[in-house]
Amino acid sequence: MFNKFKMLLLMEFQKFGEYRGDVFIFTMNAIVLPWVLLNVWVTVAEAKGGEALDTSYLVQYYYVQIIVNVLVSSWHGRILADRIRTGELLMFLLKPYEYIRYMAANNVSEKVWKILFSLVALIPLYFIYQSYLTIPVWQTIPVAFVSVFLAGMIKFFISQVIGLAGFWTNSVNALRDYNEGLSLLFSGRLFPIQYATKVIPEAFFTFLPYYYFLGFPVNVILGHVTGTDLWFGIGVQCFWVGILYGLHILLWKKGLRRYGGFGQ
Amino acid sequence: MSVISVSHLTKYYQVHQKEAGFTGSLKSLFNRKYYDAKAVDDISFEIEEGELIGFIGPNGAGKTTTLKCLTGLLYPTSGKVDVLGYTPFERKHPYLKQISLVMGQKNQLWWDLPAIDSFLLNKEIYEIPGARYKKTVDELSELLDVKDILQVQVRKLSLGQRMKCELIAALIHTPKLLFLDEPTIGLDVVMQQKLRDFIKAYNQRYKATIILTSHYMKDVEQLCERVIIIDHGKLLYDGSLSNIVKKYAKHKSITVIFEKPVAKEKLEKLGKVVEFEDRRAVISMPREKSNHVAAKLLESFPVEDLNIEEANIEEIIRDVFSNKASRV
């Protein structure tokens, strides 16, 4: 079982090696927004004299967000939707191996490349903002690891579910854009939750999955979520993984029943 | 022993119909009309172990849909399909390990990596022991003469080379049942012949059951003793290739060369003169009259040479599809 996945991982890793230029551009693209926001928020915080906004927290938040964003990223929904539309999926369906494992291998390999490339930006940024950055206390590391892993699963299955919409529509890109828009607002990407909830009702963060794949793990790493809130958050992450996994199974089965393998 | 048993297989697709133009588009927003397109319409057949069958029909006849139902890619609307003792659309792993599908227009090889990497992945996926994997790859790459290109990126291979590697990838687990959907499409005549030779050799060496669909009649003529003809989703014919001629070819033609020029009008009394030159003519007549016409030609004309020919198989099948020949 593990040999199959290991082989797939190696193949995907080699494949991304062929497209290393593209992966580099995508990685930098994912880093630009949090870096810009970091600068905007720091400027605003300093203009306000550091009273209303905590400059040190903001720098740490966006720096860690860059790392978490790379670790939880998923782009395979687009690949899945394309394969459904062109009929390329057929060749995978004929193999005695679950399709989702191909996507998991794709996802993990992509992350390894992205982590390597993101160091190009993370190392200089560390030296620029060194005075604001602190090393997280070691006690938070195990739970942060769990939280980031669950965040990656949530994002993976959201991407998978959006890709599976390709069984019913050709406009999966529109769904992706819609999801990206909501994600910008509610994941904590544009602003940390403690500042956002002054404008947006907290329920949007509590009851939607977006916050739990970015803002929440970032705050866990920074040690800003503790005690009951921490375990409640981890519980919600598990809930969303379960819901999205179930939805993925349902859509996969229903989609395959109606799939004709177009593009023939 | 039957490896494939198909009973009253039917597959309908629901197709959306829209009137022409912008108004039609607006109407279809509120009142969408659908109809059931009968891709496969109540067909039944059995295929025995080791057979090499040609599955032929014009575009949209239902060949690929049938193949997809047999491989488990499509759920039938109704009917029963049993392949190697499995219900294909359940796509159980033990079933998938025994079959393979090669589509001339679809790749399973990883585009950016050499073919040998895709083979290695298949080795793991199909759980092939190392020694058997090596033996199979050696044998197949020798048969197809591709040993030198296995380390070359797939995207840098020619269409013919890629098709050969696709075949190896599909056969690496030595499937009992091989579905070939237009395997020679787009290939030049030399490469087509090489692939035909290989398919024949594979069938004989591994006793594999092979189902072939192709628009090239040469593929079918050279490889298949039995053919299934399908059109508009209906099974028109299931039997030997030679019987098609007896069943559907209602005419024979006689090519005759004369010692000296003869009058065309005289020949027209014997049958339809299809071609006429100075000393050569081709005359078409009902099959049962061919002996009589030949005797008459020898008796009444200065014949130098005479040849009675069956209609070309491709023409017969073309006639079957265009409803010229009588159907049963």
pLDDT in tens, A146-194: 999 999 999 999 999 999 999 998 888 899 999 999 998 899 888 888 7
Interchain proximity A15–B112, CB inside 8 Å: yes
Band of the pLDDT at B323, cuts 50, 70, 90?
A: low
DSSP collapsed to 3 states, A169-217: CCCHHHHHHHHHHHHHHHCCCCCCHHHHCCCCCCHHHHHCCHHHHCHHH
Axis-axis angle for helices A140-164, A227-258 (nearest 10): 20
Q: What is the pLDDT of residues B29-44, one digit of tens each?
A: 777 777 788 889 999 9
- Stretch A59-68: mean pLDDT, rounded? 92
Residue A50 has a pLDDT of 62
Count of CB atoms situated within 10 Å of the CB of B176: 18
Sheet holding B251-258, edge to edge: B272-276, B280-286, B251-258, B303-310
Mean pLDDT value of segment B240-256: 83
What the block records as the tokens of A192 is 């940390």
Residue A232 at interface with chain B, using a CB cutoff of 8 Å: no
Mean pLDDT of B218-224: 87
Q: Tens digits of per-residue pLDDT, A106-160?
A: 999 999 999 999 999 999 999 998 888 877 677 788 999 999 999 999 999 999 9
Look at residue A149 in the predicted model and tell me its pLDDT: 96
Per-residue pLDDT at B13: 82
- In chain B, alpha helices (H): 21-30, 63-71, 93-96, 115-125, 130-143, 159-171, 189-206, 217-223, 241-248, 264-268, 290-300, 313-321
Q: Which residues of A touch B124 (CB under 8 A)?
A: 3-4, 7
Which residue in B has a C-alpha nearest to residue A11's C-alpha?
Answer: B117
Give the C-alpha distances (Å, rounded to integers) separating B129 from A197, B157, B174. 59, 28, 12
| 8 Å CB contact between B319 and B298 | no
* B76 contacts: CB under 8 Å, gap ≥ 6: B9, B10, B11, B40, B69, B89
Rounded CA-CA distance B190/B195 in Å is 9
* Confidence grade of residue A1 (pLDDT, cut at 50, 70, 90): low
Size of interface A-B (CB pairs under 8 A): 65
Full-model pTM: 0.82
Does the distance separating the beta carbons of A88 and B103 come in below 8 Å? no
Query: Which residues of chain B make contact with A19, given a CB cutoff of 8 A?
Result: 112
Residues of chain B contacting A170 with CB distance shorter than 8 Å: none
Residue to test with chain B: of A10, A11, A98, A257, most B Cβ within 10 A: A11
Strand partners, B234: B231
Which pLDDT score, from 0 to 100, does residue B247 have? 77
Segment B83-126, tens digit of pLDDT: 999 999 999 999 999 999 988 777 889 999 999 999 999 999 99
Confidence of residue A263 (pLDDT cuts 50, 70, 90): very low
**Assembly ipTM:** 0.84
Say which residue, B117 or B311, is predicted with more confidence. Answer: B117
Shortest CA distance to B81 belongs to which of B20, B14, B8?
A: B8
Q: Do A264 and B64 touch (CB under 8 A)?
A: yes
Residue scoring higher pLDDT (A163 or B159): A163
